[in-house]
A and B are shown apart, each in its own frame.
Chain A
């Protein structure tokens, strides 16, 4: 069939989710019409306009760049309903009231084009029940598409068909959600709260249940249920505050109302303390008080015994912390179970009850165990889902332990574990993940869109997990980089360079590796992709490795390292084959400079780029300042005034303030990326796109752009303009003496040194200027203090 194109989207309902879904479509260059009711007073689009304006204030921002809002058109049902005919996809995201939704469906149905998809973002209502409200003609084009909050940042989208949804349409929608919006799709069944919320909310209820049973503090439980067990920093109760206690209570109520036969039904109710907080209007973050409350700088937590807030402490007992540090999951779980410490008992209990719950319900709530695990990773930010956690800890041992404790009456329900639990020794493995519905191991989706994911995120036990040591074939490696080819790199044309260093930091060995890799690519291949199996791309210079040279006061040695950094950048820039930087996550300092010198960058939307050297009292000297001087010089040459300062002032501020982009698109606004660099939405597709890009550029007969014969610089005049900004900030007490010094060095490098304005200089001159400024700064005590502070605390010091 012909390609299905979503040219325009309508979102019905400008609430928190609706507006943010609209924003994310706009991020992805998909124009949106955002609908809501006409306002009773003022302008008819008042409600929607307020929601659109509100997007600009949310943090983290739902908007990839602030100009995105212009692609969201405000509309209301009374005046603009006929405009639904312009839209290929309509997402309903109004309040969770069945009768409201059905009323709306009746109203909009006549305006939905016959080939458009109509989807609901309900988080709990039955898709089939909702589909009954659609006319027969619309039903095959109706389904559930459940985004998680905040939709830009949460990977998961649950895709839920109703009886009669056209299968092709679901595939088309999955492709759009995956590539265009960059989401991770899990096909869910039409059961209350679908997959992630069903398991996630139960998990929260289990946490609440055992918190109370064992008499633990909410802050203590948050300390236990956060990163220590692979879950987000906001853990349990802080997450509840962020979500809103009323919303949480609402989701729980969906379970109370719709899961009457469920063996855990008696637990599907908001605990008394939760209802009490809600009735007091303490709904969490939005009312500035919930489980937690901020008093000035002190965070307070509600103490049920005292019926008041107390200072939040939340400490994990050392012996429990020691258990959690054990890398062997089987031992870890055994130790937790064996310990009598209430914190250990708590942790074991919450895992045990979730294992029990997901095993019991797997057949009804999900296609297979992989979907449950991925849903929990993508929808709740867990490092591992419940099934893989279980499998990693030893399927059989855990199964038996859970069984025994159910028998002993310790579980939250006495429901018997299903038989398959004991007839299998794993749920993930060849040829896929276990489906309790079919009794078979189901492989991954074969939709063409997944061929774009060369190394998709794997759950524990699943085959094909990426290994930096073993995946593909090693072409060459040293201690900190590996140059390798893809298993199916046809004709072995584009090798991949990946860093092994911690956070992909760049030290002398990585520098050697990049230079060697480019030379090998030039000798034997058509291109090179620099790609890391997981974020970050690179946090920049490896300060740990540089520390001894610095402490020895070996400035000659330091200058050599910087010179090597510059050599690396120039090697990339003038490589005879295209060098593609495939960026996801942070690309800071030297990492950012690698990207700046690449032939083309292919960046995931969530790329956070910045030249942050000022934070450690330095300036970009891996060619970063030099590149800006060249680029702005070229831009200025196209203007009548020849004034590169138009651009350099903003660039200077970005460097002086060590600003980091909040998206790849914003990195373009900051000039850290070029207009020609590609932004993609699904980081899983990065390597695929980068490789195709390399091949495409190579196919066009790539030659590196020749070095500019003479770069016009702004020189002394430019430095003076930038220094004027510094004088004002310094006199206004906004920057320190050393900030001034560091920024002046950046100004000098950006403007090409203390020469007359308009002087033509060479690229080498610019590199020499930035290197000299860099080494001068290294000689200062303040910069040394900043560097050591960063190494020891991980935070910048502004001395």
Chain B
């Protein structure tokens, strides 16, 4: 089915650490985070002539205010890319980051570009509410019952998934606990060290004694979300927040976070020109729609679709980065598709590591690339997630 004229390869991928909402990056702007990762990813290919970058595609789920005004273009200019390099911000909510990588790859596949950047940035700190700076909903939504789920909060949809797919509170809490344990162990083992480019935050603080502003540098180099002290007892005590008799709690949901990532992609011709070795080949990307009230189940449709496109069997997957929007939906996806739990999020997921919406897809791509660089046995890897208002996305990569 493919009309591509060439393959697209991932040459480098890097990300910021992921900070908790109002945490280590509380005073860091999303466009600065983006500039940081763009600068870092091109630095990983020093041979590259920056003028060759045909476009910078950036995913962002709430592209407004600090991350509005086409944050892609602002971020790349702040990064010091030549002003001949264009940029576009795209939005498919939680899959925006991997969607940006896929779109960048497609431009190469089509022969329209040899060098592209796909990225994602999101600061949930700057977003006053989950729905952006101004909450708004179309009155028409309430006029037809079948449209009501458009107005559902994500937590409520997770409750629906938990009920429909019979995922118990205990299983959700155990899944959440495991996510923290895996993430804590991965950090201890230094597994994220290669993919992260530490961020030097400049704090501008009042020195009350001298009435001067003290500028201090603070290096952020580790993900902030994972909790070594997470316990089943503590998780069991949390109350469901989205439904009176529910099972979805703050503890078994993803964390709100700030972060960014960028992925550098090239054609084979460009690789040769710059004498660069790729990490992986882009093998495909698929999105699919599901009923909005069970949006968490989205990957169940998207994963088989991309595998079929690429002609790869599910069993061939060695590493799956499945975004843990909620333990309920992650478990429902794993069980429904029969994914091997040992291969899903070996270093923890969004419940522990955080979920900066539109950046997550690019961030987890960086994690997957890092794993592939470390372990020659990994062949096929995937980045997949559910998407608000009922979609799923899955991107497939093959180590080369």
- Residues of A at the B interface (CB closer than 8 Å) are 641, 643, 645, 649, 716-717, 719-721, 723-724, 727-728, 731-734
Chain A residue nearest to B148 (CB atoms) is A727
The docked-state distance in angstroms from the alpha carbon of A150 to that of B122 is 47
User: A731-B152, A731-B156 are contacts. A724–B244 as well, Cβ < 8 Å?
Assistant: no
User: A732-B243, A732-B246 are contacts. A649–B139 as well, Cβ < 8 Å?
Assistant: no
**Shortest distance between the CB of A266 and any CB in chain B (Å):** 50
A720 and B152: CB pair below 8 A? no
Chain B residue nearest to A731 (CB atoms) is B156
User: A721-B137, A727-B151 are contacts. A734–B142 as well, Cβ < 8 Å?
Assistant: no
- Give 13 new A-B contacts, CB below 8 A, not counting A717-B139, A724-B141, A734-B244: A641-B134, A649-B135, A717-B136, A719-B139, A720-B136, A721-B136, A723-B151, A727-B151, A728-B156, A728-B242, A731-B156, A732-B242, A732-B246
A732 and B159: CB pair below 8 A? yes
The docked-state distance in angstroms from the alpha carbon of A721 to that of B141 is 11
> Does B210 lie at the interface of the complex (its beta carbon under 8 Å from any beta carbon of A)?
no
> Does B228 lie at the interface of the complex (its beta carbon under 8 Å from any beta carbon of A)?
no
| Residues in A whose Cβ lies below 8 Å from that of B137 | 720-721, 723-724
B142 and A643: CB pair below 8 A? no
Number of interface residues of B (CB under 8 A): 20
The docked-state distance in angstroms from the alpha carbon of A724 to that of B148 is 9
B142 and A728: CB pair below 8 A? no
**Shortest distance between the CB of B156 and any CB in chain A (Å):** 5
A720 and B141: CB pair below 8 A? yes
**Shortest distance between the CB of B76 and any CB in chain A (Å):** 28
> Does B82 lie at the interface of the complex (its beta carbon under 8 Å from any beta carbon of A)?
no
**Shortest distance between the CB of A303 and any CB in chain B (Å):** 34
The docked-state distance in angstroms from the alpha carbon of A121 to that of B28 is 49
**Shortest distance between the CB of A243 and any CB in chain B (Å):** 30
**Shortest distance between the CB of A665 and any CB in chain B (Å):** 25
**Shortest distance between the CB of A534 and any CB in chain B (Å):** 39
| Residues in B whose Cβ lies below 8 Å from that of A643 | 134
| Residues in B whose Cβ lies below 8 Å from that of A716 | 139
| Residues in B whose Cβ lies below 8 Å from that of A723 | 137, 139, 142, 151
Q: In residues 151-182 of chain B, which contact A (Cβ within 8 Å)?
A: 151-153, 156, 159
Q: Please tell me which one of the listed residues A717, A719, A732 contacts residue B244 in the complex, with CB atoms under 8 A apart.
A: A732
| Residues in A whose Cβ lies below 8 Å from that of B153 | 728
| Sampled A-B contacts (14; CB under 8 Å) | A641-B134, A643-B134, A645-B134, A645-B135, A717-B139, A720-B137, A721-B135, A727-B142, A727-B151, A731-B156, A732-B159, A732-B242, A733-B244, A733-B246
**Shortest distance between the CB of A748 and any CB in chain B (Å):** 12
The docked-state distance in angstroms from the alpha carbon of A728 to that of B135 is 14
> Does B138 lie at the interface of the complex (its beta carbon under 8 Å from any beta carbon of A)?
yes
> Does B273 lie at the interface of the complex (its beta carbon under 8 Å from any beta carbon of A)?
no
Chain B residue nearest to A723 (CB atoms) is B142
| Residues in A whose Cβ lies below 8 Å from that of B244 | 732-734
> Does B245 lie at the interface of the complex (its beta carbon under 8 Å from any beta carbon of A)?
yes
The docked-state distance in angstroms from the alpha carbon of A732 to that of B142 is 16
List the 7 shortest-distance A-B pairs measured between CB atoms, nearest first. Answer: A732-B243, A733-B244, A720-B139, A724-B151, A720-B137, A724-B137, A727-B151
- Residues of B at the A interface (CB closer than 8 Å) are 133-139, 141-142, 148, 151-153, 156, 159, 242-246
The docked-state distance in angstroms from the alpha carbon of A439 to that of B51 is 104
**Shortest distance between the CB of B398 and any CB in chain A (Å):** 41
User: A643-B134, A732-B159, A732-B243 are contacts. A727–B152 as well, Cβ < 8 Å?
Assistant: yes
Max count, chain B CB within 10 A of own CB: residue among A732, A733, A734:
A732
| Residues in B whose Cβ lies below 8 Å from that of A731 | 148, 152, 156, 243
Max count, chain A CB within 10 A of own CB: residue among B136, B141, B159, B246:
B136
Chain A residue nearest to B293 (CB atoms) is A731
Q: Please tell me which one of the listed residues A641, A645, A649, A720 contacts residue B142 in the complex, with CB atoms under 8 A apart.
A: A720
**Shortest distance between the CB of A483 and any CB in chain B (Å):** 47
| Residues in A whose Cβ lies below 8 Å from that of B245 | 733
A728 and B151: CB pair below 8 A? yes
A720 and B243: CB pair below 8 A? no
| Residues in A whose Cβ lies below 8 Å from that of B135 | 645, 649, 721, 724
| Residues in B whose Cβ lies below 8 Å from that of A649 | 135
**Shortest distance between the CB of B160 and any CB in chain A (Å):** 8
**Shortest distance between the CB of A85 and any CB in chain B (Å):** 19
The docked-state distance in angstroms from the alpha carbon of A721 to that of B151 is 9
| Residues in B whose Cβ lies below 8 Å from that of A721 | 135-137
The docked-state distance in angstroms from the alpha carbon of A230 to that of B32 is 67
The docked-state distance in angstroms from the alpha carbon of A728 to that of B150 is 10
Chain A residue nearest to B159 (CB atoms) is A732
The docked-state distance in angstroms from the alpha carbon of A641 to that of B141 is 23
Chain A residue nearest to B141 (CB atoms) is A720
Chain B residue nearest to A643 (CB atoms) is B134
The docked-state distance in angstroms from the alpha carbon of A224 to that of B342 is 67
**Shortest distance between the CB of B34 and any CB in chain A (Å):** 25
**Shortest distance between the CB of B128 and any CB in chain A (Å):** 9
Chain A residue nearest to B129 (CB atoms) is A649
Max count, chain A CB within 10 A of own CB: residue among B141, B151, B243, B246:
B151
The docked-state distance in angstroms from the alpha carbon of A191 to that of B36 is 73
Chain B residue nearest to A735 (CB atoms) is B244
Max count, chain B CB within 10 A of own CB: residue among A649, A724, A728:
A724
Chain A residue nearest to B243 (CB atoms) is A732
User: A717-B139, A733-B243, A734-B243 are contacts. A728–B134 as well, Cβ < 8 Å?
Assistant: no
Chain B residue nearest to A649 (CB atoms) is B135
The docked-state distance in angstroms from the alpha carbon of A721 to that of B135 is 7
**Shortest distance between the CB of A723 and any CB in chain B (Å):** 5
The docked-state distance in angstroms from the alpha carbon of A727 to that of B242 is 12
| Residues in B whose Cβ lies below 8 Å from that of A734 | 243-244
| Residues in A whose Cβ lies below 8 Å from that of B148 | 727, 731
The docked-state distance in angstroms from the alpha carbon of A51 to that of B270 is 65
| Residues in A whose Cβ lies below 8 Å from that of B136 | 717, 720-721
**Shortest distance between the CB of A720 and any CB in chain B (Å):** 4
The docked-state distance in angstroms from the alpha carbon of A649 to that of B130 is 14
Chain B residue nearest to A754 (CB atoms) is B139
The docked-state distance in angstroms from the alpha carbon of A731 to that of B244 is 10
Max count, chain B CB within 10 A of own CB: residue among A641, A719, A720:
A720
**Shortest distance between the CB of A768 and any CB in chain B (Å):** 21
| Residues in A whose Cβ lies below 8 Å from that of B141 | 720, 724
The docked-state distance in angstroms from the alpha carbon of A658 to that of B64 is 35
The docked-state distance in angstroms from the alpha carbon of A723 to that of B134 is 15
Chain A residue nearest to B142 (CB atoms) is A723
The docked-state distance in angstroms from the alpha carbon of A641 to that of B64 is 13
The docked-state distance in angstroms from the alpha carbon of A381 to that of B43 is 75
**Shortest distance between the CB of B388 and any CB in chain A (Å):** 13
| Residues in A whose Cβ lies below 8 Å from that of B151 | 723-724, 727-728
B138 and A720: CB pair below 8 A? yes
The docked-state distance in angstroms from the alpha carbon of A727 to that of B293 is 12
The docked-state distance in angstroms from the alpha carbon of A720 to that of B140 is 9
Chain B residue nearest to A717 (CB atoms) is B136
| Residues in B whose Cβ lies below 8 Å from that of A641 | 133-134
The docked-state distance in angstroms from the alpha carbon of A731 to that of B153 is 10
